[in-house]
Chains A and B, each alone.
Chain A
C-alpha cells in the first residue's frame, strides 16, 4: 500500500529549476496547482510576462491529492446556496462552474493533453429513504440552477440505494497529468515556472517584491494561488480548514462503476469514482471522513473508516493507495476570488471547499480577466470584498470560537510530553524546554526532529498529524514537515529549530 495519491504515481515527474536570480515580471503567481497553472497559462497566452513560483512540485499540493472530479454543483449543496442567496446565484454558480469545466475540456482537446478526460454523469445518492427528502430538495435546487438533473432509483453501484439524483455531462480526469501538461504549455507560451521555490516574504508595493532563497521577483501583480493566501489576512478569519481522506482500492469483480458518486452518509458524505491508470490497472477511489485540521488525534482511523465503508459496499481485493488533502470552506458558501484591492494588484483565490479543481480553474479565468481588463460575468459574484455579514455570521463565529479555543490550549509550561524521552519512535508530541514549546518527532530510527511548536503564521500551537507525519496548525491550517518546512497554508516562515541546532 502506497502512502501517496494515485494521480502522483500516474504522471511523469516534472523538473523545473528553482529560481536562481532576480526577475521582473508583469504577474507573479505563488502556487503551482490548478489555479496558478491555469492563470499562468491564460496570462502568458495573452502576452503577459509571468513567473510561477511553486514551493514544492507542480501539482504536488492539493491538486495532486484531489478527486479528479469536475462538476457544476457544489459539495455544500445547491439548495444551501438557493436558501442562503437565491436561485439566481445558484444559477450563476452552476453556469460559472460549467464554463470552467468547458475551459478544461477545450484545453485538453486543443493541446491534446493526455489526462484521461471523460464526460461522466454525477450522482448524489440516498441509501436510505430518510435522506430522500434532502435529495429531492437538492434536485429542485439543481433544476432551479439550470442543471440537467434527474431523479432515478437505480445506479451502476453494486449496493442497494433508495434514490439518486443524476446530472449528466460532468467530467473526470487525472489532475496531475493535466497540471504537468499545463506547466509545459506555460513554458511554450513564454512564461517561467520555478519549482522548489517557496516565497519567504512578500513586500507589497509598486512593484511588489517576492523574496525567495536565491532570488527576488518583482511584479506589478501578485496572484496568491496557494489555496489559502499567504500572510496574515482578514479572509483567514472567514474560513474553516478541513482535511479529507482518500483510498484507492482494487476490486475482485473488476466491475468498476463509471461516473462520480456522492453517497449521503451521516455525519458526512462519501465520494466514489473509478479510474484506470496508464498501465491499464483499474482502481476504485473512496473519499471522505473530513475533520478540522489539527483537531483529530487518531487520524489514521479515517483510513480505517474508509476501508470499512468500502469493504461493506464493494468486493475489495486490496487497498493500494491512501492519501489526504486539505480544503478551506468559506463563511457564506461561495469562494473568494479576485482582487483584495484593485489598486495594489493583489489577487486571491480561496474558499473552494472540496470543489477546488473546478473553482480553481474558474478562479484563474476570473483573475486573468481582471488583470487583462476583460469583462467577466462572475467576477462580482465571487469578489473577496463582498459584504454579506448575515450570510457569513454563523460560520464566521463558529470558526473564530474554534480559533479562540485553540489559543486557550496554549497554557504555560504545559505540553503533551513532559520530557523528550517520553516520545516513542514514530511519535510526535509537544514538549516544554526551558519555558518554550517545541514540536518533537522521534523517527523510526530514533532520531529526534525538533522545531518550535509555535506556528509562524499567528502563533497557535501546532498539533501532530500522525497520518501525514506533519505538524498542523489548528487555527488557520498551516502545515509543516517534521523539520519545520512549510508544506501549505498561510504561513511563509518555517518553524525555527532550537538555537543550538541540536535537539535538547
Chain B
C-alpha cells in the first residue's frame, strides 16, 4: 500500500513539474494533465490515509503535508479554471509542500 502510494505520488509529482513549467512561463496549463495530476495525487492520499489507519507507526507528517498540498491543489485548479492566470508563488509553494511530503514518505518507507 505504501509503495503504491509512493508510485502514485511520484507520477503526480512528474505531472506537477510539467504543469509548473507552464505556470512559470505564464502559459495556459493543459487541462488533461491538470485533471490527471489531481486524481493521481488524491489516490495516493487515500492509500496513505488507509495505511495510517492500519499501521503503526504511520507517516503522519507526510500525510499532513499531502493534505495541505491537496487543499492547495483545489484552490489552484479553481483559480486556473476561473481566472486569467495562476499565481506562480502559489503553484511553487504547492509543489514544495508536496515534494517535502514525498521526501518524508520515502524516508519513512526506506530508511
State the A residues within 8 Å of B (CB). Answer: 232, 404, 407-412, 435-437, 452, 454, 458-461
Cross-chain contact of A410 among B18, B31, B82 (Cβ < 8 A): B31
Q: Could you list 29 A-B pairs, sorted by A, with CB under 8 Å? A: A232-B81, A232-B82, A407-B31, A407-B32, A407-B34, A407-B35, A408-B31, A408-B32, A409-B32, A410-B30, A410-B32, A411-B30, A411-B32, A411-B33, A412-B18, A412-B30, A412-B32, A435-B22, A435-B25, A435-B27, A436-B28, A437-B28, A454-B28, A458-B81, A458-B82, A459-B28, A459-B31, A459-B80, A459-B81
Known pairs A404-B35, A410-B31, A454-B28; list 17 more (Cβ under 8 Å): A232-B82, A407-B32, A408-B35, A409-B32, A410-B30, A410-B32, A411-B33, A412-B18, A412-B30, A435-B22, A435-B25, A435-B27, A436-B27, A452-B28, A458-B81, A459-B31, A459-B81
Cβ contacts under 8 Å, A232 to chain B: 81-82
Cβ contacts under 8 Å, A454 to chain B: 28
Cross-chain contact of B33 among A412, A437, A459 (Cβ < 8 A): A412
**Nearest chain A CB to B63 CB, angstrom units:** 27
Cβ contacts under 8 Å, A452 to chain B: 28
Query: In the assembly, what is the distance between CA of A404 and CA of B80, in Å?
Result: 15
B: contact size bracket: 10 to 19
Query: In the assembly, what is the distance between CA of A407 and CA of B28, in Å?
Result: 13
**Nearest chain B CB to A410 CB, angstrom units:** 4
Cβ contacts under 8 Å, A411 to chain B: 30, 32-33
Cβ contacts under 8 Å, B32 to chain A: 407-412
Cβ contacts under 8 Å, A410 to chain B: 30-32
- Interface 1/0 per residue, B29-71 and A, CB below 8 Å: 0111111000000000000000000000000000000000000
**Nearest chain A CB to B81 CB, angstrom units:** 5
Query: In the assembly, what is the distance between CA of A410 and CA of B27, in Å?
Result: 14
Residue from the set B27, B30, B81 with the largest chain A CB neighbour count within 10 Å? B30
**Nearest chain A CB to B42 CB, angstrom units:** 14
Cβ contacts under 8 Å, B81 to chain A: 232, 458-459
Cβ contacts under 8 Å, A461 to chain B: 31
Chain B residue nearest to A461 (CB atoms) is B31
Query: In the assembly, what is the distance between CA of A461 and CA of B29, in Å?
Result: 11
Residue from the set B25, B28, B30, B31 with the largest chain A CB neighbour count within 10 Å? B31
Query: In the assembly, what is the distance between CA of A66 and CA of B80, in Å?
Result: 35
Query: In the assembly, what is the distance between CA of A408 and CA of B27, in Å?
Result: 18
**Nearest chain B CB to A408 CB, angstrom units:** 5
Cβ contacts under 8 Å, B28 to chain A: 436-437, 452, 454, 459
**Nearest chain B CB to A420 CB, angstrom units:** 19
Query: In the assembly, what is the distance between CA of A412 and CA of B34, in Å?
Result: 10
Query: In the assembly, what is the distance between CA of A454 and CA of B31, in Å?
Result: 10
Residue from the set B25, B32, B81 with the largest chain A CB neighbour count within 10 Å? B32
Query: In the assembly, what is the distance between CA of A356 and CA of B34, in Å?
Result: 37
Query: In the assembly, what is the distance between CA of A163 and CA of B94, in Å?
Result: 64
Chain B residue nearest to A410 (CB atoms) is B31
Query: In the assembly, what is the distance between CA of A435 and CA of B30, in Å?
Result: 10
Query: In the assembly, what is the distance between CA of A408 and CA of B30, in Å?
Result: 9
Q: Is the CB of A460 within 8 A of B27?
A: no
Cβ contacts under 8 Å, A409 to chain B: 32
Query: In the assembly, what is the distance between CA of A79 and CA of B34, in Å?
Result: 42
**Nearest chain B CB to A22 CB, angstrom units:** 25
Query: In the assembly, what is the distance between CA of A412 and CA of B82, in Å?
Result: 20
Cβ contacts under 8 Å, A437 to chain B: 28
Cβ contacts under 8 Å, B22 to chain A: 435
Query: In the assembly, what is the distance between CA of A452 and CA of B26, in Å?
Result: 14
**Nearest chain A CB to B38 CB, angstrom units:** 11
Query: In the assembly, what is the distance between CA of A407 and CA of B80, in Å?
Result: 13
Query: In the assembly, what is the distance between CA of A411 and CA of B31, in Å?
Result: 7
Query: In the assembly, what is the distance between CA of A126 and CA of B69, in Å?
Result: 58
Chain A residue nearest to B80 (CB atoms) is A459
Cβ contacts under 8 Å, B25 to chain A: 435
**Nearest chain B CB to A201 CB, angstrom units:** 12
Chain B residue nearest to A456 (CB atoms) is B84
**Nearest chain A CB to B21 CB, angstrom units:** 9
Query: In the assembly, what is the distance between CA of A232 and CA of B81, in Å?
Result: 9
**Nearest chain B CB to A451 CB, angstrom units:** 13
Query: In the assembly, what is the distance between CA of A435 and CA of B33, in Å?
Result: 14
**Nearest chain B CB to A436 CB, angstrom units:** 6
**Nearest chain A CB to B41 CB, angstrom units:** 17
Query: In the assembly, what is the distance between CA of A107 and CA of B28, in Å?
Result: 50
Cβ contacts under 8 Å, A458 to chain B: 81-82
8 tightest Cβ-Cβ pairs between the two chains A and B: A412-B30, A407-B31, A410-B31, A232-B82, A408-B32, A411-B32, A454-B28, A458-B81
Query: In the assembly, what is the distance between CA of A394 and CA of B66, in Å?
Result: 33
Residue from the set B25, B80, B81 with the largest chain A CB neighbour count within 10 Å? B81
Chain A residue nearest to B36 (CB atoms) is A408
**Nearest chain A CB to B43 CB, angstrom units:** 16
Query: In the assembly, what is the distance between CA of A389 and CA of B29, in Å?
Result: 32
**Nearest chain B CB to A237 CB, angstrom units:** 12
**Nearest chain A CB to B79 CB, angstrom units:** 11
Query: In the assembly, what is the distance between CA of A347 and CA of B18, in Å?
Result: 41
Cβ contacts under 8 Å, B27 to chain A: 435-436
- Interface 1/0 per residue, B4-37 and A, CB below 8 Å: 0000000000000010001001011011111100
Cβ contacts under 8 Å, B30 to chain A: 410-412
